[in-house]
Structure 1
Amino acid sequence: MPRILVTARLSIDAAELVESFARASGAGGQNIQKVETMVQLRFDARNSPSLPQAVRERALALAGHRATAAGEIVITAQEHRSQARNREEALARLLELLREAARPPPPKRRATRPTLGSKKRRLEGKTQRGATKKLRGKPALD
Protein backbone atom coordinates (compact mmCIF):
# COMPACT_ATOMS: atom_id res chain seq x y z
CA MET A 1 0.00 0.00 0.00
CA PRO A 2 1.40 3.44 -0.88
CA ARG A 3 1.87 5.88 1.96
CA ILE A 4 1.14 9.59 1.73
CA LEU A 5 3.73 11.80 3.41
CA VAL A 6 2.21 14.34 5.81
CA THR A 7 5.41 15.52 7.54
CA ALA A 8 8.95 14.17 7.77
CA ARG A 9 7.90 11.88 10.64
CA LEU A 10 4.24 11.31 9.84
CA SER A 11 2.60 9.53 6.92
CA ILE A 12 -0.80 7.94 6.37
CA ASP A 13 -1.73 4.88 4.37
CA ALA A 14 -3.58 5.63 1.12
CA ALA A 15 -6.02 2.81 1.96
CA GLU A 16 -7.30 4.90 4.91
CA LEU A 17 -8.77 7.45 2.47
CA VAL A 18 -12.20 6.85 0.95
CA GLU A 19 -13.25 8.91 -2.07
CA SER A 20 -16.74 9.29 -3.43
CA PHE A 21 -17.92 11.36 -6.37
CA ALA A 22 -21.11 13.28 -7.12
CA ARG A 23 -22.36 15.99 -9.42
CA ALA A 24 -21.20 19.41 -8.30
CA SER A 25 -23.70 22.15 -7.52
CA GLY A 26 -23.93 25.57 -9.10
CA ALA A 27 -23.79 26.91 -12.64
CA GLY A 28 -21.81 25.08 -15.27
CA GLY A 29 -24.08 24.08 -18.10
CA GLN A 30 -24.03 20.60 -19.59
CA ASN A 31 -20.72 19.60 -17.99
CA ILE A 32 -22.07 19.94 -14.47
CA GLN A 33 -25.29 18.09 -15.34
CA LYS A 34 -23.63 14.95 -16.67
CA VAL A 35 -20.16 14.65 -15.05
CA GLU A 36 -19.49 13.72 -11.43
CA THR A 37 -16.72 16.20 -10.65
CA MET A 38 -17.35 16.84 -6.93
CA VAL A 39 -15.05 14.81 -4.66
CA GLN A 40 -15.87 13.87 -1.09
CA LEU A 41 -12.76 12.62 0.72
CA ARG A 42 -13.26 10.75 4.02
CA PHE A 43 -10.51 9.99 6.53
CA ASP A 44 -11.28 8.07 9.73
CA ALA A 45 -9.03 10.05 12.06
CA ARG A 46 -10.33 8.54 15.30
CA ASN A 47 -9.43 4.96 14.26
CA SER A 48 -6.32 5.72 12.19
CA PRO A 49 -3.28 3.69 13.27
CA SER A 50 -1.01 6.18 11.47
CA LEU A 51 -1.72 9.12 13.77
CA PRO A 52 -0.45 9.52 17.34
CA GLN A 53 -3.17 10.23 19.92
CA ALA A 54 -2.23 13.92 20.37
CA VAL A 55 -2.26 14.58 16.60
CA ARG A 56 -5.57 12.73 16.28
CA GLU A 57 -7.24 14.93 18.91
CA ARG A 58 -5.84 18.16 17.45
CA ALA A 59 -6.91 17.14 13.92
CA LEU A 60 -10.49 16.48 15.01
CA ALA A 61 -10.57 19.79 16.89
CA LEU A 62 -9.18 21.69 13.89
CA ALA A 63 -11.60 19.99 11.49
CA GLY A 64 -14.55 21.57 13.29
CA HIS A 65 -17.77 21.07 11.31
CA ARG A 66 -15.93 18.84 8.83
CA ALA A 67 -15.56 16.14 11.52
CA THR A 68 -18.43 13.72 12.05
CA ALA A 69 -19.57 12.34 15.40
CA ALA A 70 -17.91 9.03 14.46
CA GLY A 71 -14.53 10.75 14.16
CA GLU A 72 -14.30 10.94 10.36
CA ILE A 73 -12.95 14.04 8.63
CA VAL A 74 -14.92 14.82 5.47
CA ILE A 75 -13.39 17.16 2.88
CA THR A 76 -15.49 18.23 -0.11
CA ALA A 77 -13.97 19.81 -3.23
CA GLN A 78 -16.02 21.05 -6.20
CA GLU A 79 -14.32 24.26 -7.34
CA HIS A 80 -12.71 22.85 -10.50
CA ARG A 81 -14.33 21.50 -13.65
CA SER A 82 -12.31 18.27 -13.64
CA GLN A 83 -12.54 15.42 -11.19
CA ALA A 84 -8.75 15.01 -11.08
CA ARG A 85 -8.15 18.60 -9.95
CA ASN A 86 -10.86 18.32 -7.31
CA ARG A 87 -9.23 15.10 -6.02
CA GLU A 88 -5.89 16.91 -5.75
CA GLU A 89 -7.54 19.85 -4.00
CA ALA A 90 -9.31 17.64 -1.44
CA LEU A 91 -6.13 15.70 -0.68
CA ALA A 92 -4.11 18.92 -0.36
CA ARG A 93 -6.66 20.34 2.11
CA LEU A 94 -6.60 17.15 4.20
CA LEU A 95 -2.79 17.12 4.27
CA GLU A 96 -2.70 20.79 5.28
CA LEU A 97 -5.10 20.08 8.15
CA LEU A 98 -2.99 17.11 9.30
CA ARG A 99 0.24 19.15 9.04
CA GLU A 100 -1.32 21.83 11.22
CA ALA A 101 -2.41 19.18 13.73
CA ALA A 102 1.08 17.60 13.75
CA ARG A 103 2.62 20.93 14.81
CA PRO A 104 2.71 20.93 18.62
CA PRO A 105 1.04 23.88 20.34
CA PRO A 106 3.39 26.60 21.64
CA PRO A 107 4.23 26.42 25.34
CA LYS A 108 2.13 28.51 27.71
CA ARG A 109 3.64 31.81 28.84
CA ARG A 110 5.08 31.73 32.34
CA ALA A 111 4.11 34.80 34.33
CA THR A 112 7.05 36.85 35.63
CA ARG A 113 7.25 39.70 38.10
CA PRO A 114 8.21 43.21 36.95
CA THR A 115 11.79 44.23 37.73
CA LEU A 116 12.62 46.93 40.24
CA GLY A 117 13.90 49.19 37.43
CA SER A 118 10.66 48.88 35.47
CA LYS A 119 8.62 49.72 38.59
CA LYS A 120 10.72 52.86 39.20
CA ARG A 121 10.42 53.99 35.56
CA ARG A 122 6.66 53.52 35.69
CA LEU A 123 6.31 55.57 38.88
CA GLU A 124 8.60 58.34 37.53
CA GLY A 125 6.47 58.51 34.37
CA LYS A 126 3.31 58.80 36.47
CA THR A 127 4.88 61.61 38.50
CA GLN A 128 5.86 63.52 35.35
CA ARG A 129 2.39 63.13 33.82
CA GLY A 130 0.79 64.32 37.06
CA ALA A 131 3.05 67.39 37.13
CA THR A 132 2.18 68.20 33.51
CA LYS A 133 -1.54 67.94 34.24
CA LYS A 134 -1.20 70.12 37.32
CA LEU A 135 0.19 72.93 35.12
CA ARG A 136 -3.04 72.88 33.09
CA GLY A 137 -5.15 74.10 36.00
CA LYS A 138 -6.16 77.68 36.81
CA PRO A 139 -3.43 79.76 38.41
CA ALA A 140 -3.74 80.13 42.17
CA LEU A 141 -4.52 83.54 43.62
CA ASP A 142 -1.78 84.44 46.09
Structure 2
Amino acid sequence: MTPDEVAEWLTARGEWSSSRSSGPGGQRRDHAETRVHLTIRPETLAGLPEPLATRLTRRLGLDERPLRLRAGTERRREDNRRLVEVRLRARVAAAMEPPAPPRRPTRPTAGSARRRVEAKRRRSAVKRTRRTPAGDD
Protein backbone atom coordinates (compact mmCIF):
# COMPACT_ATOMS: atom_id res chain seq x y z
CA MET A 1 0.00 0.00 0.00
CA THR A 2 1.17 3.53 -0.72
CA PRO A 3 1.32 6.20 1.99
CA ASP A 4 -1.65 7.97 0.38
CA GLU A 5 -3.76 4.81 0.53
CA VAL A 6 -2.83 4.23 4.18
CA ALA A 7 -3.58 7.87 5.06
CA GLU A 8 -6.95 7.58 3.32
CA TRP A 9 -7.64 4.38 5.28
CA LEU A 10 -6.81 6.11 8.56
CA THR A 11 -8.84 9.26 7.84
CA ALA A 12 -11.87 7.12 7.04
CA ARG A 13 -11.56 5.10 10.28
CA GLY A 14 -10.11 7.68 12.70
CA GLU A 15 -12.11 9.67 15.24
CA TRP A 16 -12.95 13.13 13.90
CA SER A 17 -14.16 15.88 16.20
CA SER A 18 -14.34 19.65 16.10
CA SER A 19 -14.19 22.44 18.64
CA ARG A 20 -14.17 26.20 18.76
CA SER A 21 -11.04 27.64 17.32
CA SER A 22 -9.16 30.42 19.10
CA GLY A 23 -9.33 33.97 17.90
CA PRO A 24 -11.38 37.11 18.39
CA GLY A 25 -14.87 36.50 19.75
CA GLY A 26 -17.79 38.15 18.04
CA GLN A 27 -21.41 37.57 18.95
CA ARG A 28 -22.44 34.40 20.73
CA ARG A 29 -24.47 33.16 17.79
CA ASP A 30 -21.55 33.71 15.39
CA HIS A 31 -19.23 31.18 17.01
CA ALA A 32 -18.41 28.18 14.86
CA GLU A 33 -16.58 24.97 15.63
CA THR A 34 -13.90 25.20 13.00
CA ARG A 35 -10.93 23.56 14.74
CA VAL A 36 -10.65 19.93 13.66
CA HIS A 37 -9.16 17.02 15.64
CA LEU A 38 -8.25 13.58 14.32
CA THR A 39 -7.45 10.82 16.81
CA ILE A 40 -5.88 7.58 15.64
CA ARG A 41 -5.74 4.63 18.02
CA PRO A 42 -4.03 1.26 17.48
CA GLU A 43 -7.43 -0.35 16.77
CA THR A 44 -7.74 1.94 13.73
CA LEU A 45 -4.98 -0.07 12.04
CA ALA A 46 -7.01 -3.30 12.13
CA GLY A 47 -7.37 -4.59 8.60
CA LEU A 48 -4.02 -3.34 7.34
CA PRO A 49 -1.31 -5.91 6.52
CA GLU A 50 0.31 -7.06 9.77
CA PRO A 51 3.92 -5.92 9.05
CA LEU A 52 2.67 -2.49 7.99
CA ALA A 53 0.42 -2.15 11.04
CA THR A 54 3.30 -3.12 13.33
CA ARG A 55 5.66 -0.62 11.72
CA LEU A 56 3.08 2.18 11.89
CA THR A 57 2.25 1.37 15.52
CA ARG A 58 5.91 1.59 16.47
CA ARG A 59 6.87 4.56 14.29
CA LEU A 60 3.79 6.69 15.07
CA GLY A 61 4.05 5.93 18.78
CA LEU A 62 0.61 4.32 18.94
CA ASP A 63 1.87 1.71 21.39
CA GLU A 64 2.34 4.51 23.96
CA ARG A 65 -0.52 6.92 23.18
CA PRO A 66 -3.02 7.73 20.45
CA LEU A 67 -1.90 10.00 17.63
CA ARG A 68 -3.75 13.32 17.78
CA LEU A 69 -3.58 15.81 14.95
CA ARG A 70 -5.41 19.11 14.92
CA ALA A 71 -5.72 22.24 12.83
CA GLY A 72 -7.52 25.46 13.59
CA THR A 73 -5.76 28.14 11.59
CA GLU A 74 -8.27 28.35 8.76
CA ARG A 75 -11.76 29.84 8.97
CA ARG A 76 -13.54 26.91 7.37
CA ARG A 77 -13.79 23.48 8.96
CA GLU A 78 -13.22 21.77 5.58
CA ASP A 79 -9.94 23.65 5.11
CA ASN A 80 -8.77 22.62 8.57
CA ARG A 81 -9.75 19.03 7.84
CA ARG A 82 -7.69 19.14 4.65
CA LEU A 83 -4.72 20.47 6.66
CA VAL A 84 -5.01 17.57 9.11
CA GLU A 85 -5.16 15.10 6.21
CA VAL A 86 -2.00 16.61 4.68
CA ARG A 87 -0.18 16.38 8.03
CA LEU A 88 -1.32 12.78 8.49
CA ARG A 89 -0.12 11.89 4.99
CA ALA A 90 3.32 13.34 5.78
CA ARG A 91 3.55 11.45 9.11
CA VAL A 92 2.46 8.18 7.49
CA ALA A 93 4.92 8.60 4.61
CA ALA A 94 7.78 9.20 7.07
CA ALA A 95 6.71 6.20 9.17
CA MET A 96 6.52 3.90 6.14
CA GLU A 97 10.04 4.66 4.91
CA PRO A 98 12.42 1.76 5.40
CA PRO A 99 14.83 2.19 8.28
CA ALA A 100 18.23 3.65 7.51
CA PRO A 101 20.96 1.06 7.01
CA PRO A 102 23.19 0.59 10.05
CA ARG A 103 26.31 2.69 10.08
CA ARG A 104 29.45 0.85 9.10
CA PRO A 105 32.41 2.14 11.06
CA THR A 106 35.25 3.30 8.85
CA ARG A 107 38.96 3.19 9.54
CA PRO A 108 40.77 6.48 10.08
CA THR A 109 42.83 7.57 7.10
CA ALA A 110 46.59 7.33 7.26
CA GLY A 111 46.88 11.12 7.28
CA SER A 112 44.48 11.57 10.18
CA ALA A 113 46.26 8.86 12.19
CA ARG A 114 49.61 10.54 11.50
CA ARG A 115 48.24 13.96 12.56
CA ARG A 116 46.79 12.50 15.75
CA VAL A 117 50.09 10.85 16.73
CA GLU A 118 52.01 14.04 15.90
CA ALA A 119 49.65 16.11 18.08
CA LYS A 120 50.16 13.65 20.94
CA ARG A 121 53.92 13.90 20.48
CA ARG A 122 53.78 17.73 20.60
CA ARG A 123 51.58 17.70 23.70
CA SER A 124 53.94 15.24 25.37
CA ALA A 125 56.90 17.52 24.60
CA VAL A 126 55.09 20.51 26.15
CA LYS A 127 54.39 18.54 29.33
CA ARG A 128 57.98 17.25 29.39
CA THR A 129 59.30 20.84 29.51
CA ARG A 130 57.15 21.57 32.57
CA ARG A 131 58.72 18.80 34.68
CA THR A 132 61.28 19.56 37.30
CA PRO A 133 64.77 18.61 36.16
CA ALA A 134 65.61 15.00 37.04
CA GLY A 135 69.11 15.66 38.47
CA ASP A 136 68.12 18.39 40.99
CA ASP A 137 67.26 17.19 44.49
- Range of TM-score over shorter length: 0.5 to 0.7
CA contact (8 A) 2:7 2:88 kept: no
* Structure 2 equivalent of residue 23 of structure 1: 20
CA contact (8 A) 1:46 1:56 kept: no
Identity of aligned pairs, percent?
A: 29
**TM-score relative to the length of structure 2:** 0.64
* Structure 1 equivalent of residue 48 of structure 2: 50
CA contact (8 A) 1:41 1:76 kept: yes
With over 3 angstroms needed to count, the CA separation of the structure-2 counterparts of 1:45 and 1:94, relative to structure 1, is farther
Aligned residues: 131
- Unaligned ranges ≥5, structure 1: 138-142
- Unaligned ranges ≥5, structure 2: 132-137
Letter in 2 for 1:17: G
Q: Deviations over 1:31-87 (max 9, x none)?
A: 7852111111133344412361343223432x798x33xxxx221211222112111
Letter in 2 for 1:110: R
RCO higher in structure (CA 8 A, sep ≥6) = 2
Report the Cα distance in structure 1 between the residues aligned to 2:33 and 2:8, rounded to whole angstroms.
26
Letter in 2 for 1:27: G
Report the Cα distance in structure 2 between the residues aligned to 1:31 and 1:93, rounded to whole angstroms.
32
Task: After TM superposition, list the pairs within 5 Å mapping 1:117-128 onto structure 2.
Answer: 118-128=112-122
Aligned-CA RMSD value: 3.9
Task: After TM superposition, list the pairs within 5 Å mapping 1:27-106 onto structure 2.
Answer: 27-30=23-26, 34-48=31-45, 49-50=47-48, 52-61=52-61, 67-68=65-66, 73-106=67-100
Deviation at 1:122, TM superposition (A): 1.9
Deviation at 1:114, TM superposition (A): 4.5
Which sits farther off after the overlay, 79-88 or 38-47? 38-47
